[in-house]
A and B are shown apart, each in its own frame.
Chain A
Amino acid sequence: MKRTALFEQHVDAGARIVPFGGFEMPVQYAGILKEHDAVRHRAGLFDLSHMGQFWMTGDMVARWADTLTINAVGTMKPQQARYNIFCNEGGGAHDDTIFYRLEKGWLLVVNAANADKMWKLLNDRRPPHGVELENRHGARALIAIQGPQAAAMLQPHVNVDLAALRYYFCAEGLLENVPVVLARTGYTGEDGFELFLDGADAPMVWNALLRAHAGEGLEPCGLGARDVLRLEAGMPLYGHELTESITPVQAGLKWALKLDKPEFTGKEALEDQLALDHYSRIVGVVMEGRVPAREGYSVWFDGRIAGSIRSGSIAPSVENKNIATALVAPEASAVGTALEVEIRGKKHAAAVVGLPFYKRQK
């Protein structure tokens, strides 16, 4: 089991540590609901150094990456970030990722659990010339600061004008006088930043941010809070709403699918799936009662099983209701459809709702 550069910080803060994606990661510090509240109303600090960071250089990177992904890479502007998905031939997802176009190359951030698979895939598919790959997984750190106060808290520590940094853009600069890539990206449904830096610098930066802003409500947050936040915001989590067999089309990510690209792995399968329009799909589900829906529970519609729950949680930002995602048959997928979720042998009323469950006020 690997540890991130911030492992000591987590243990010192009394975090509960769990294995995740091959790393010992903090699942919670003060408590999932308290941390959730900090991110929605103030700001939270996350260690995401378990995620894979690959550095790609060469004049062929964009053209090559466009053949492996469903979204466009070649049209990205300098300093832009873009969500993208690598699919298999059947259209299922190898991984969902973010590309960052930097001054001298491309940063690709992949899910921790998929990092080895993705590293192998990239190397297997690498063209003979024009693409160099460097695996920085574990050596580089990733700290996220997320929440309505994130920009105000981070600004005094960086030499970049954060007001000028737009959503899904990034900048290279200094954070506490050490080199950093700052991106206005995140996975919580709030404004915020992701900070890519050298692992050796991460503890100093983590401590400096917490020391300066704990009094204003900046809380260290674990993966437990992150999962609730992303679910409320309707963001897919690999292994739940996207898998090698659940395609981006099924996951409701058609917006990221650029069928005008000449060819890419999985394109034909995804086109066929769209044309046939008879696929089970990810929907938002709200439980009527107090019983939480959990991954794997059967979902019933019209007297038969129509699918299953993929993620579920209580949702403090959705009137404390129990929310979930489910993969259901098309006839059970329309917003407003009455469903039942089978929990410990009993059926509980639920309804299909539009995603996301939560959208921040801008």
Chain B
Amino acid sequence: MSSVQDLLFSKDHEWVRVDGDSATIGITDYAQNALGDIVYVELPKVGATIAQFANIGVIESVKAVSDLFTPISGEVVEVNGALESDPAAVNREPYGAGWLLKIRPSTPDETKSLLSPAEYEKIATE
């Protein structure tokens, strides 16, 4: 499992790892655990423009459909195609093989409104 120390978090339980002009987005360990066995992930198309905190897809567990939000704005450059046949990777490795999508961030300042690992930890353990 990758370190969470270089991640930023949204209150909606998504994480983002910004690396220059690329940002990887996923859901947190707390979120995958709360959802239970994940069976389907619906993501935006490559090339789509997404706005911070907007609903960009759904993530479905055996029991429920949950909305997926993006922690920052940008253009979708890649989605994790492996999740089509193995959505359970999100349960197993939410910060690794279970990543959801990569975007080219359009508004770098937005990361200021996100939470640090320590700040998110407080929310997730409340």
- Mark A residues whose CB is within 8 Å of B: 16, 27-28, 31-33, 224, 228, 290-292, 294, 313-314, 344
**CA–CA, A31 to B37, complex, Å?**
7
List 20 interface pairs A-B (beta carbons < 8 Å), by A numbering: A16-B36, A27-B63, A28-B36, A31-B36, A32-B37, A33-B37, A33-B62, A224-B36, A224-B62, A290-B40, A290-B84, A291-B40, A291-B42, A292-B40, A292-B60, A294-B65, A314-B39, A314-B40, A314-B62, A344-B58
Question: Which 3 pairs from chain A and chain B are nearest by CB?
Answer: A314-B39, A33-B37, A32-B62
Report the minimum CB–CB distance from A226 to chain B (whole Å).
12
Give A18's nearest chain B residue, CB to CB: B63
**CA–CA, A28 to B39, complex, Å?**
16
**CA–CA, A33 to B62, complex, Å?**
8
Q: 6 more A-B contacts (CB under 8 A) besides A31-B36, A291-B40?
A: A228-B62, A290-B40, A292-B60, A292-B65, A314-B39, A344-B42
Count A-B contacts at CB 8 Å. 30
Asked if residues B62 and A313 are in contact (CB atoms below 8 Å), the reply is yes
The A contact surface, by secondary structure, is mixed
**CA–CA, A224 to B36, complex, Å?**
10
Please indicate the chain A residues that have their CB under 8 angstroms from the CB of B39 in the complex: 292, 314
1/0 contact string of B39-56 vs chain A (CB within 8 Å): 110100000000000000
Please indicate the chain B residues that have their CB under 8 angstroms from the CB of A314 in the complex: 39-40, 62
**CA–CA, A224 to B63, complex, Å?**
7
Please indicate the chain A residues that have their CB under 8 angstroms from the CB of B36 in the complex: 16, 28, 31-32, 224
- Mark B residues whose CB is within 8 Å of A: 36-37, 39-40, 42, 58, 60, 62-63, 65, 84
Residue in B36, B37, B58, B60 with the greatest tally of chain A CB atoms within 10 Å: B37
Give A34's nearest chain B residue, CB to CB: B37
Please indicate the chain A residues that have their CB under 8 angstroms from the CB of B62 in the complex: 32-33, 224, 228, 313-314
Report the minimum CB–CB distance from B34 to chain A (whole Å).
9
Please indicate the chain B residues that have their CB under 8 angstroms from the CB of A313 in the complex: 62
Report the minimum CB–CB distance from A44 to chain B (whole Å).
15
Give A31's nearest chain B residue, CB to CB: B37
**CA–CA, A228 to B36, complex, Å?**
14
Please indicate the chain A residues that have their CB under 8 angstroms from the CB of B58 in the complex: 344
Please indicate the chain A residues that have their CB under 8 angstroms from the CB of B37 in the complex: 31-33
**CA–CA, A292 to B60, complex, Å?**
8
Give B84's nearest chain A residue, CB to CB: A290
**CA–CA, A87 to B65, complex, Å?**
33
Report the minimum CB–CB distance from A313 to chain B (whole Å).
6
Report the minimum CB–CB distance from B31 to chain A (whole Å).
14
**CA–CA, A314 to B87, complex, Å?**
12
**CA–CA, A32 to B38, complex, Å?**
10
Please indicate the chain A residues that have their CB under 8 angstroms from the CB of B84 in the complex: 290
**CA–CA, A173 to B60, complex, Å?**
44
**CA–CA, A224 to B84, complex, Å?**
23
Report the minimum CB–CB distance from B86 to chain A (whole Å).
11
Report the minimum CB–CB distance from B124 to chain A (whole Å).
16
Give A320's nearest chain B residue, CB to CB: B39
Report the minimum CB–CB distance from B68 to chain A (whole Å).
12
**CA–CA, A294 to B39, complex, Å?**
13
Please indicate the chain A residues that have their CB under 8 angstroms from the CB of B42 in the complex: 291, 344
**CA–CA, A314 to B61, complex, Å?**
9
Please indicate the chain B residues that have their CB under 8 angstroms from the CB of A31 in the complex: 36-37
Asked if residues B63 and A32 are in contact (CB atoms below 8 Å), the reply is yes
**CA–CA, A291 to B62, complex, Å?**
11
**CA–CA, A16 to B40, complex, Å?**
21
**CA–CA, A33 to B87, complex, Å?**
13
Please indicate the chain A residues that have their CB under 8 angstroms from the CB of B63 in the complex: 27, 32, 224
